[in-house]
């Protein structure tokens, strides 16, 4: 039998019987790795160009390969390409179709490469594009976050510790904390992209190739910063995928924390914000419900991405060098992590833009929690009372106000002075929410003018 007559012609010459159907289904990856087709074609064209320049294949072969790949790309884009389970993966499907279209030129394309370095290259190209998309989406999310923060730069909000009212902050200042988180996320993705952007192609199966290839030319054609310098590591390395999932887990953790706050703030017991109806759902039985399904689902999807990180770490931990079939299992977790982060960032950018605030409820919550108690302690410390003593004095004052059912700012001056003779008329300025906010007028502080300055710095970044 001519090996080319077999659907699995690439290795049919070595085997005396066909692969069983159950093994074929078990080992095939074309159902999910077909999303790499653009990157596979792009890498193959760069490889073919290099082979022609090095006179390993002819100019006529290169022209045939380019013509065939253009037709294959059109077929895939229009949905007329026939994907075959018999051909196992995206690479063999494209190669078989190319050979059908252009004959021997298609068979020469694989000269000097292996599926091992081919797939490693395709995944890096795919992930590089995915990181670029995610960075763009992060920028959109940050921009919407800054828009809302600017609109609410002076809106007082209870700042919580232990989920108990602690001190006044502004809503804008609170949102800027998430800007800082996502700024670090962007830095991590940029750093991950730098390590991803190295070319494995030319490592062949594991040892390099005997053909006079020019790896730096291929790297230049594909926009890689350089080449993977050890052929074993080039085909065995999946650090870049693990690093990406690590960065993805962190950005999802940040979005999950924001989600938790959105769910709380939307609850009528808080009533601080309203999320637009298009991001909520109703109940099948309770007509009054507006459920914050988007942030709730983002919390759940965060665990999904954590799982992908652990899956890849576990996948790689016991593998000897170089390539092993285990590595086929890298794609589904990686692809799903890309999809989950991309979709979540896209919808969160839209959702943030659709949030409206209820400042009166925020102020009511501040009045219930003695949020300016620390300001009273600071007031006494400024007048010479050691802060620890001031802390104890204010604790007594809070207990008194609590017994009367009033805020500290609602106590009479005489009531306050029974706790310290250092207290004077000007104390009430310190006890107001706006006075508390204005007092924290330093970089990183919650004073409205500092919030606006921080937003200006963020926009420049």
Q: Which of 4, 58, 136, 283 is catalytic?
A: 283
Cα–Cα separations (whole angstroms), residue 312 to 188, 247, 331:
18, 13, 9
Q: Is the dihedral of CA 44, 50, 56, 59 positive or negative?
A: positive
Considering only CA atoms, which of 157, 144, 148 is closest in space to residue 358? 157
What are the tokens at 451? 């919030």
Q: Angle, to 10 degrees, between the axis of helix 90-102 and the axis of helix 37-53?
A: 50
Q: Which of 162, 210, 284, 442 is catalytic?
A: 162
Residue 283 appears among annotated catalytic residues? yes
Q: How far apart are CA 198 and CA 200, in angstroms?
A: 7
Q: Which long-range contacts (CB under 8 A, 24 or more apart) does 347-351 make?
A: 347/279, 347/294, 348/141, 348/255, 348/258, 348/294, 348/298, 349/137, 349/140, 349/141, 349/143, 349/144, 350/144, 350/279, 351/275, 351/276, 351/279, 351/294, 351/295
Half-sphere exposure at residue 116, Cβ-oriented, CA atoms within 13 angstroms: 23
Which of 30, 40, 186 minimizes the C-alpha distance to 126? 40
- Tell me whether strands 226-227 and 273-274 are parallel, antiparallel or unpaired: unpaired
Helix axis angle for 331-353 and 115-151, nearest 10°, is 20
Q: Are 189 and 246 in contact (CB under 8 A)?
A: no
* Cis bond before residue 276 (omega within 30° of 0): no
Contact (CB, 8 A) for 134 and 189? yes
Instruction: Give, for 169, the enclosing helix (H) or strand (E).
Output: strand 164-170
Task: Please tell me whether residue 97 adopts helix, strand or coil conformation.
Answer: helix
**CA atoms of 187 and 201, how far apart (whole Å):** 27
CA–CA distance from 341 to each of 254, 305, 308, 315, 431 (Å)? Answer: 11, 8, 12, 21, 43
Enzyme catalytic residues: 162, 283
């Amino acid at each position: 039998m001519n090996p080319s007559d077999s659907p699995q012609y690439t290795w049919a010459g070595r085997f005396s019987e066909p692969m069983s159907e159950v093994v074929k289904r078990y080992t095939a990856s074309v159902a999910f790795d077909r999303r790499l087709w653009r990157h596979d074609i792009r890498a193959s064209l760069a490889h073919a160009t290099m082979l022609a320049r090095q006179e390993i294949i002819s100019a006529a072969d290169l022209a045939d390969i380019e013509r065939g790949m253009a037709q294959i790309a059109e077929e895939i884009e229009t949905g007329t390409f026939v994907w075959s389970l018999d051909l196992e993966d995206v690479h063999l499907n494209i190669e078989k179709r190319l050979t059908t279209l252009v004959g021997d030129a298609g068979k020469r394309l694989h000269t000097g490469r292996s599926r091992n370095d081919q797939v490693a290259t395709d995944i890096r190209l795919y992930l590089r594009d995915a990181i670029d998309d995610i960075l763009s989406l992060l920028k959109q999310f940050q921009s919407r976050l800054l828009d809302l923060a600017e609109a609410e730069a002076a809106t007082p909000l209870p700042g919580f510790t232990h989920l108990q009212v602690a001190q006044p902050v502004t809503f804008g200042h609170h949102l800027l904390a998430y800007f800082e988180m996502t700024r670090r996320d962007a830095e991590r993705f940029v750093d991950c992209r730098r390590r991803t952007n190295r070319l494995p192609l030319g490592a062949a199966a594991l040892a390099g190739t005997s053909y006079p290839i020019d790896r730096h030319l291929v790297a230049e054609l594909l926009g890689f910063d350089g080449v993977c310098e050890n052929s074993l590591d080039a085909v065995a390395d999946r650090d870049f995928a693990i690093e990406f999932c690590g960065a993805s887990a962190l950005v999802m953790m940040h979005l999950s924390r924001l989600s938790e706050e959105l769910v709380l703030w939307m609850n009528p017991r808080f009533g601080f914000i309203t999320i637009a109806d298009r991001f909520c759902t109703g109940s099948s039985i309770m007509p009054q419900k507006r459920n914050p399904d988007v942030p709730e689902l983002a919390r759940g999807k965060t665990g999904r991405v954590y799982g992908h990180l652990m899956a890849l770490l576990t996948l790689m931990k016991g593998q000897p060098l170089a390539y092993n079939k285990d590595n086929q299992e890298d794609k589904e977790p990686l692809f799903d992590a890309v999809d989950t982060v991309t979709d979540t960032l896209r919808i969160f950018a839209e959702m943030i833009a659709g949030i409206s605030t209820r400042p009166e409820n925020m102020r009511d919550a501040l009045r219930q929690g003695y949020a300016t108690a620390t300001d009273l302690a600071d007031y006494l410390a400024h007048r010479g009372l050691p802060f620890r003593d001031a802390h104890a004095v204010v604790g007594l004052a809070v207990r008194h106000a609590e017994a009367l059912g009033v805020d500290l700012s609602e106590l009479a001056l005489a009531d306050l002075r029974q706790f310290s003779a250092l207290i004077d008329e000007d104390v009430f300025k310190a006890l107001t929410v706006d006075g508390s906010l204005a007092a924290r007028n330093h970089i990183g502080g919650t004073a409205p003018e500092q919030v606006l300055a921080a937003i200006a710095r963020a926009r420049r970044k």
